Amino acid sequence: PAVEFGLEAPFSVEYHDSVGSTNDRARELAGEGATDVVVLADEQTGGRGRLEREWTAPPGGVWLSVVTRPDIAAAQAPLYTLAISVATARAAREAGVDARIKWPNDVVVPVGDDGDYRKLSGILTEMEGETDRVEWVIVGPGINANIDADALPEGATSIREEAGDVDRRRFVQRLLESFDDHRNDLERVVPAWRELALTLGQRVRVDRPAGEIVGEAVDVTESGALVVETDDGRVTVSAGDCEHLRPV
């Protein structure tokens, strides 16, 4: 059952001890016309990643989805994803974790100096509407908070593993405040993202709908697309999966 979470945040929060997927519940609410509502759960039994992948979401995490109805074009929606990744990384850093961002929106903790990392958080963004104006956008970050590493997939880490348990109420509050600041000032999102980026300067392989490319990640554009310097020149990628490669 949903209860009020009692947060001092610019969003009202619907809390569940357990839910299938907070994004699915958020889609129901968006369909009913809700806005500025957050669905938050301790555990998800059917957490979703991107591209039909599964998201492991045991008790102790911060699994949440934010429903917004912004006055933006569909092409600007990726900025919302970058904004929630910045907010997530900032909240994790305040909790004592060396959180950085891997393009486009994974929050990771670096391991060594070669671009290697463990994944702390992923984000699932969904939207509906027209090209020139979206109806709603849902940004759903999942953060491995107070969870043992052995309850997570390989390559994952948690706030507990990195820095000890966090006060999740406070963490969510900071995350939502930071997201609210950024969505009201979208021009600041990319500069803030750049400061936290682990991907820039790395050799990367990007798997995108138009095929795979390899090169050095040199920048992000003002709409959040990754600019990769390849042997055949610069390529700008707006969506895809990015892997950090060992330096040559």
Residues engaged in binding ligand BT5 (CB under 6 A): 21-23, 44, 47-51, 53, 55-57, 63-65, 106, 119, 122-124, 140, 142, 144, 152-153, 156
Measured from the CB atom, is 36 or 229 closer to ligand BT5?
A: 36
Phi/psi of residue 88, nearest 5 degrees: -65, -45
User: Could you tell me if 96 and 164 are in contact, meaning their C-beta atoms sit under 8 angstroms apart?
Assistant: yes
**Euclidean distance between CA atoms 170 and 7, whole angstroms:** 9
Measured from the CB atom, is 65 or 178 closer to ligand BT5?
A: 65
CA-based nearest residue to 98, from 198, 224, 241, 247 = 198
**Euclidean distance between CA atoms 143 and 91, whole angstroms:** 10
Could you give the residue ranges of the DSSP H alpha helices within the chain?
22-31, 77-94, 159-163, 168-183, 189-196
At closest approach, how far in Å is the CB of 156 from ligand BT5? Answer: 3
At closest approach, how far in Å is the CB of 174 from ligand BT5? Answer: 17
At closest approach, how far in Å is the CB of 57 from ligand BT5? Answer: 6
At closest approach, how far in Å is the CB of 196 from ligand BT5? Answer: 17
Measured from the CB atom, is 44 or 146 closer to ligand BT5?
A: 44
Burial of 248 from C-beta contacts in 10 A (0-12 / 13-18 / 19+): exposed
At closest approach, how far in Å is the CB of 15 from ligand BT5? Answer: 13
**Euclidean distance between CA atoms 241 and 204, whole angstroms:** 10
**Euclidean distance between CA atoms 163 and 97, whole angstroms:** 6
Measured from the CB atom, is 144 or 199 closer to ligand BT5?
A: 144
At closest approach, how far in Å is the CB of 248 from ligand BT5? Answer: 26
Measured from the CB atom, is 144 or 146 closer to ligand BT5?
A: 144
Measured from the CB atom, is 64 or 97 closer to ligand BT5?
A: 64
